[in-house]
Structure 1
């Protein structure tokens, strides 16, 4: 006879330090799980306080507030009847731990601390917490006074234990533990655990979901069992977007998968499992000798019934496997930043966004992402998402407003401007205007030459010298200064328009200024410090130029917007120098390298941890082959040039606009890429080593050629 059990996991859009809001979303997820017949519910990592509290985790108040919220959840009768797995930080013996709290009917069964902490890239868990690196060890935890009153317990077990119900054994694994070489679920499986929960605060990166899902499915493909993965979703207050995708996997097969991107604050997925399927699978797969020889966990014995015997006869059937859903990179670029922007806007309560729309592909991509945000909001409104409807009305200060189209919403929330000069072309101006009309933004078209001339005049009066552009005979220094003043004035005007445009339309509040510098330009430093790349937030700051082009190509077809083809075909240009019959400014010529090359440099530097010499060796082997067929000298020149400009512009990263994190080689100095900003740009010792390698390669080529000639003569 089958042993059917219905399980629930969830995506929650938690917000750092929003204790009451987080509590309410947890309660909603529990109620939805009960409504769907679940007897176990698992939620995201640190769901009570929010995962991204950062240095607020150092504050003792946070731990008290978490207990306050947790006890309100335990004391709520609506939460009874399920085995609950809830995440929050806990202080034990004056040490802070990242924990899972397992409870049932208002009683705490176990506090399970995280064994291995995430401590690279965007994660700094070792800064706040201590790992419980004592597998299968446990001790008593004395509950706080307020917890004793609610639970009637004075102490509970604290450590790495498992929970026995009447039918099965359940255990918690937490986030990073899944990614370690010796994951706890392996030893858990050998000790008879059949249901694993894993709660994560895992952020979105392009093309990384398949890696995560592969690890989750592999966890039970080898050992058998049921794996419940829960995740945070949304922007919880920083550069990261937690991309949900909660799922339930049985014996390596997906049976339930939540959305990776959506505007819903709470998303619960359930599946009904036949535990006999797990046991049958293990009889074929699990090595009995390993199980017998494994170290045993402490089992917490309970009378919890996850699978009432009536389940077999009341029409409940096991959930069938489904295909795994994974978005393309273009869809990820569209959906991730769009959802992030919506969370940011609704939580900071600004009046909308302002974007300097230049007519180039970067600002175009930013505008299209906002357009998709509007599409998602309208779709959520049509689906009667009460939270989204409430947020829309609050943002536009109109309780009767219900948007019917993305353009109708954009007219209220999205403002764009073409900040032109005499160096701007008619093509970029017209492209910007046509795109604004297509997406429905409130658009302003202006020339700022008078402002530029005024600043130059101030300098001329003060010094008696007037700088001129290089094409008219000026020096490189003059040329760069004249470009920079245009770029910086665009930033000044952007903030002025962001503050005053709503006022001109008789609306209250100010706008968030959006930046549109891509990750490759940030890496190379191809931007002016404090120009219009300086903004409040930047949705494409972690996306490469190559990926942005793929995104625009996708959007052109997906949204039926032919105007986007013009942006794709246009030569990338800053339009900060005069256009003459013989000269049109080009980004790639100015940078001295292509965007594709920049992406490769970026990955080697950050992801592969290459210095100049290692980068040169790798690229020589790649680029010396057809179709590029570059010489060692040419590769060396490109590598040296990259490191030179990376070094002299590194200081710009300290002031970069907070950008949506999407790419592994992001140069973000404030969270992700912690490197000095004063570096010798010549890298003299590395350069000498590269020169020696090049010289050796040339000698080898000469020797090889001579040998071939000798053989030919013979």
Structure 2
């Protein structure tokens, strides 16, 4: 439960139809296995104590009494471990029979949740045997020799892990227009469990998967779905045991169909709570749900779920390509709209031959093509100075030529030297003044050229640089429209690579060389003609900083949790000391450099993280980092 993680399981036991004692043994065995594997919650299928396909045997007292005795066995066995169990069982009450989910924990029957929507169409005829639990207000009942609560809208709340609140709906309840989980989630449930018996037909598996995924996203919840499988009667139907564990639209675990067994994953409940707090339209309301409290032993959950090293970049190649196309189109649309509004037909870009300015040029080319404007209106300006290498300069020249832009070369060495003389700064003193004077001179050139041509200066800085403050205030920090402002460095690389995959010849070769060039501001003189100032050696690997940025800004994780999942994601790549070092650097710079983000130029939001002071990130420039830094430094 540390850091908000909870290990859970969904199980499909092999059952025998109308053999509760046998089925109870399988359920008990699986619960014990889940306990050994560190799970805190396990969900079993609908009516798994009897099997779902008993038909008219559900009208037999013999079967119903056998089911009650079997649940009593399960209750007794559960006292030897601390796993919360959700088990499907028929329950008789006031002359009616209900299809229920029993919540079992440490020898206690905490509650019985009835199925609300009883299907009676196509292959389903449950209404022949079962009554809907709709409008049954929670009431104390006796079952298995225990006093428990029976009724709809029950919430099972963990008193020592407040993020864990469990609600339940059963099979068909998910498929209707207004599922019970809507009420449960708005009442505070972060985990919805669904004991199910969903038969298999062609195409249904993918539909089921999409339904569970989208429903967990809509409710900002975790969803555990346990499906009936082997052993159910195949007289007319087939059950595949298609189990899922989902979280906010993401399938964390999925079983192989037509198998029995257990799937596991860790839920991140603190992440869900952050999302609900962030989205103030999420309907947290006091309603008529009844809370039943329980307690779980504290444990440090070992992580097995995967965390992408590049959370801004899709893992699937086809998805990555379509995402890259969409992103470049969005960037270009933002710029094209701004150009139309200002009646501007000229763009000015400082083209260094590096990744960021290359992407800015690509986006500008797309925008001009959208508007049907001659690419000669794109003025690519290369401004060599003390740190410029032959490699980057030649790449800039070739890019401008290949894209049909108008090229300008403005050597700023004389201007910068004159500036040093004016302010009394020695050329030999390679301090921050030495570096920033070059960046500000370049911005001056670009702004004045834009004024001269009636054009617009296109900003090249990316999201990662803004997070770290790796930009010169009123230098490359400033532009008239920043097309890369919400694109992190790891994504810049993929977008450029995507463009390279679509072109041929000299342009493809040049883009590939840009991708192979070390990231550098090139503000210090080169050594032996090679780049001497490599950004990632100074501020750390961008893949780490983008990872930190995503989890700190997008999900609000604390340093301890970010460090933990970074260790897991980058296992074998970076050691603990390296991760800690750059996490401390990220936090320190993120707070110190907010003043630069507080006056950013306009630029389009593209992804889920942006640092625009007019949009997603409103942080005072004088905020103190002590709380975050002290936790990171003491890891």
TM-score range (shorter-chain normalised) is: 0.3 to 0.5
Give the structure with higher Rg (CA).
2
Q: TM-score, normalised by structure 2?
A: 0.46
Q: Would you tell me which structure has more helix in proportion to its own residues?
A: 1
Normalised to the residue count of structure 1, the TM-score between the two structures is 0.41
